Chain A
């Protein structure tokens, strides 16, 4: 009995191992990705992965890259650096793709020397960190939208226009993600003539934010911008401030612009604003959203809605495809060719998914400000596309 079990499992193992060694067709363009499918970033990772994959598969359906098909290779990085680096190296040595997608700021930072000197591949990631948009240090890495600092810039510009000289407060988490844009945002407040009255720091997911809320009450800012949180403690802060009768406007950056946040806030979302560089699932008049909806209905009939992190993945996919097409046309389908193609992107039409993209310092610093509609539980635009200098 034991022996038979052993034989069966050995056979299954052998089949699985062999199937991984299958030789793929040569006329393929490989795009690898290390995605946070499990771990604490999984809520977004699953969406981002779906968006990126769908963008590439739609491109395949439309004829691929001048006839060449794209192959998408994804592995889980668990949002842990050692696991993610291992997955990155595994994909590089096994499949040798032209483009890689990474799961975190940390992975990008750890791999950037090797991406530049050794692998020479186009790279983008889930991160909007400003440290990953530096054409001098690394011409191969780009951010598929504005960096967090740019998002703060856009919000502050919006505030300066709505209420010149307004009192502003920042509420950020004690993480790299939270602190990334703060210095740039402080400088921006000075140039825009805004009064930065408070900076509150809290841990991600913390429940007790009483001292921070009391401080906010004392300083009574007109606007509070959150950075570096996903859900908690944003909800608690807004509710407690409302209990104190404060009229402050609350704002968030990309991860705060998710529909999930509006849903969680419930009635407290009244007046909540966030900055987002992409259109939403419910913006039916946008041609690219129509295309996404049609593809989703065909491929995943059970899926009824996609959050903004899906759009981030999708947009990255569109940029990848555009770079590939340009590089292929120039006859330079390799890393340096792709980097050159990336720099040539001007007024790139994403089918309305975002403003006409223009690359600047390996990022696309354009977004608009959205306001929550509590009844419909969606976000609606309150500004046109804005850029930062």
Chain B
């Protein structure tokens, strides 16, 4: 068991794979993630896919909110833009899904650029409201631009395919999701240790100071919005390919809040935190559901009591996490790791 590692430069501090042990752990995790679809049932894989989409979306939002300090309440709308772009490209123009997905990301990014413009003038709560407007404007567009979005009826989308192989089951789709999650997380993790990532953090910590030391606020704030929306667009595109239908009701304001909650519960300014947050926000309600359905069998006839109870428990869990660990799940993970680093000789 290793007991701490010595670093001699800042460069080493920023390494992603800090030691051989970490490499082994991550390799094992990857192997497990690849094996899972061959042993798990469709329900588990459905949830794993949802977690995957949430991770991509949450990492994107964390780049904007956690690293750059710009709160966005319109994340769900950007996911929707990605979803609709994919659906329209695939059904109206017959573009293959694989090409539609990056285009959807770019369209979302473009939308993010436009919505991000107010961030140059307004901050904090004011920016919150500006992005909130984006949520409602885009939702309105989804409903009323009927020639493109088919309005409230939505668009049915064929599943992605390569040649004759169709990705229409949870299992096959899981591999697309897994691949993109790895790419997205890898990209974000690397980005935050480059010049760009440092600029984001500088803006978050004090934008005035950042500007004085030569960071172009215009460029980096908009870049953060565009990047975050690009991630959202990819997440939306994946969701549409998976669920095979898109309607405006898929991207409500509450989804934006849910993404914000993922980032906050997971840990602001931490890529790992976004992953934990996404897993927590998707998995906990499902676990509570399973718990409730078992409780129903023990106490039949009390459905009306148990089913609303799970929302209360879920809310309580989020609040208690924030009270007991304001830095989020990432910090809890960090503490557990540190405990075992020295275990059993914690002198």
Instruction: Write the residues of chain A forming the contact surface with B, with a CB cutoff of 8 angstroms.
Output: 13, 15-17, 19-20, 22, 37-38, 46, 49, 74-76, 81-83, 85-87, 89-90, 92-94, 106, 109-110, 113, 118, 131, 174-176, 179
* Alpha-carbon separation in the docked complex, A86 to B288 (Å): 13
B41 at the A interface (CB under 8 A): yes
The contact sample of 8 A-B pairs, CB cut-off 8 A, is A19-B297, A81-B250, A85-B243, A87-B289, A93-B43, A109-B156, A176-B152, A176-B154
Known contacts: A20-B297, A87-B289, A106-B247. The answer to whether A38 contacts B47 by CB under 8 A is no
What is B's interface to A at a CB cutoff of 8 Å? 41-44, 46-47, 50, 143, 151-154, 156, 168-170, 243-245, 247, 249-250, 285-286, 289-295, 297-298, 303-304, 307-308, 311
Known: A37-B304, A89-B43. A106 touches B249 (CB 8 A): yes
CA distance A330 to B245 in the complex (A): 36
Instruction: Decide: A16 and B298 in contact? CB cutoff 8 A.
Output: yes
Asked if A81 and B311 sit within 8 Å, CB to CB, the answer is no
Q: Which residues of B contact A83 (CB under 8 A)?
A: 285
A contact residues around B170 at 8 Å (CB) = 89
Among B50, B153, B154, B244, point to the contact of A113 (Cβ < 8 A).
B244
A37, A85, A175, A179: the one contacting B46 at CB < 8 Å is A85
In the bound complex, what is the Cα–Cα distance between A5 and B322 (angstroms)? Answer: 22
Contact assessment for A81 and B243 in the assembled complex, using a CB-CB cutoff below 8 Å:
yes
Closest residue of chain A to B154 (Cβ to Cβ) is: A109
Chain A neighbourhood of B249, CB < 8 A:
81, 106
Question: Are the CB atoms of B295 and A16 closer together than 8 Å?
Answer: yes
Q: Which residues of chain A are near B307, meaning CB under 8 Å?
A: 37-38, 76
Q: Is the CB of B297 within 8 A of A22?
A: yes
B298 / chain A contacts, CB cutoff of 8 Å = 15-16, 19
Q: How far is the CB of B91 from chain A (nearest CB, A)?
A: 14
> Which residues of A lie under 8 Å from residue B156 when comparing CB positions?
109
Given that A16-B298, A85-B46, A86-B46 are contacting pairs, would A179 and B151 also be in contact in the complex, using a CB cutoff of 8 Å? Answer: yes
Chain B residues with Cβ below 8 Å from A20 are 290, 293-294, 297
Cross-chain contact B47 with A176 (CB below 8 angstroms): no
A109-B245, A110-B244, A113-B244 given; A75·B293 CB < 8 A: yes
Q: Which residue of A lies closest to B146 (CB)?
A: A179
Cα(A176)–Cα(B247), bound, Å: 10
* Besides the known contacts A81-B249, A131-B153, A176-B247, 14 further A-B residue pairs in the complex with CB atoms under 8 A apart: A13-B291, A38-B308, A75-B293, A76-B289, A76-B307, A81-B250, A82-B250, A85-B46, A86-B47, A90-B286, A93-B41, A109-B247, A176-B153, A179-B153
Compute how far the CA of A374 lies from the CA of B41 in the bound complex, rounded to whole angstroms.
55
How far apart sit A218 and B168, CA to CA, in the bound complex (Å)?
53
B293 with A17: CB separation less than 8 A: no
A19 touches B294 (CB 8 A): yes
B13 → A minimal CB distance (Å): 36
Chain B residues positioned under 8 Å from A37 (CB to CB): 303-304, 307-308
Alpha-carbon distance A57/B294, docked complex (angstroms): 20
Q: Bound state CA distance, A74 and B46, in angstroms? A: 19
**Shortest beta-carbon distance from B314 to chain A in Å:** 11
Q: How far is A86 from B243 in the complex, measured between Cα atoms in Å?
A: 11
CB distance from B278 to the nearest CB of A (A): 13
Q: Are A86 and B50 in contact (CB under 8 A)?
A: yes
- Given known A-B contacts A46-B304, A74-B303, A81-B243, A179 and B152 have beta carbons under 8 A apart: yes
> Which chain A residues border B295 with CB–CB below 8 Å?
16
Complex Cα gap A19–B290 (Å): 11
| Residues from chain A with Cβ under 8 Å of B153 in the complex | 131, 176, 179
Supposing A83-B285, A85-B243, A93-B42 touch, asked if A175 and B303 sit within 8 A by C-beta, the answer is no
CA distance A19 to B296 in the complex (A): 10
Residues of B within 8 A of A19 (CB): 294, 297-298
| A17, closest chain B residue (CB) | B294
Q: Taking the nearest CB of chain A, how far is it from the CB of B235, in angstroms?
A: 13
By the criterion CB–CB under 8 Å, are A174 and B289 in contact?
no
Closest to A16 in B: B294
Asked if A110 contacts B152 (CB within 8 A), the reply is no
How far apart are the CA atoms of A240 and B56 in the complex, in Å? 50
Expressed in whole angstroms, the Cα–Cα distance for A38 and B313 within the complex equals: 14
Q: Which of A87, A89, A106, A109 contacts B42 (CB 8 A)?
A: A89
A110 to B293, CA, bound (A): 24
Cα distance A92–B294 in the bound complex, in angstroms: 16
Report A-chain residues with C-beta under 8 Å of the C-beta of B311. Answer: 38
B134 to chain A, nearest CB (A): 20
Q: When A and B form their complex, which 9 residue pairs have the shortest distance between CB atoms, in order from nearest?
A: A20-B294, A93-B43, A176-B152, A93-B41, A16-B294, A89-B43, A76-B307, A89-B46, A90-B43
A contact residues around B243 at 8 Å (CB) = 81-82, 85, 110
Nearest CB in chain A: distance from B256 CB, A: 14
Docked complex Cα distance between A93 and B45 (Å): 11
Kindly list chain B residues whose C-beta atoms are within 8 Å of the C-beta of A113. Answer: 168, 244
Bound form: Cα–Cα A17–B169 in Å: 27
> Once the chains are docked, how many angstroms separate the CA of A85 from the CA of B43?
10
Closest-by-CB residue of A relative to B297 is A19
Is the Cβ of A86 less than 8 Å from the Cβ of B308?
no
**Complex Cα gap A106–B243 (Å):** 11
Q: Are A175 and B152 in contact (CB under 8 A)?
A: yes
Q: Which residue of B lies closest to A82 (CB)?
A: B50
A174 touches B285 (CB 8 A): no
- When distances are taken between beta carbons in the complex, the residues of chain B under 8 Å from A131 are 153
CA gap between A106 and B244 in the complex, in Å: 12
Q: In the complex, how many angstroms separate the beta carbon of B57 from the nearest chain A beta carbon? A: 13
Distance of A286 Cα from B82 Cα, bound (Å):
54
Among B285, B286, B290, B293, the one with the most A-chain Cβ atoms within 10 Å of its Cβ is: B293
**Chain B residue at minimal CB-CB distance from A73:** B293
Bound: A301/B170 CA distance, A = 45
B303 partner residues in chain A, CB cutoff 8 A? 37, 49, 74
In the complex, what residues of B have CB within 8 A of residue A89's CB? 42-43, 46, 170
State whether A92 touches B245 (Cβ < 8 A).
Answer: no
Residue of B nearest to A104 (CB): B249
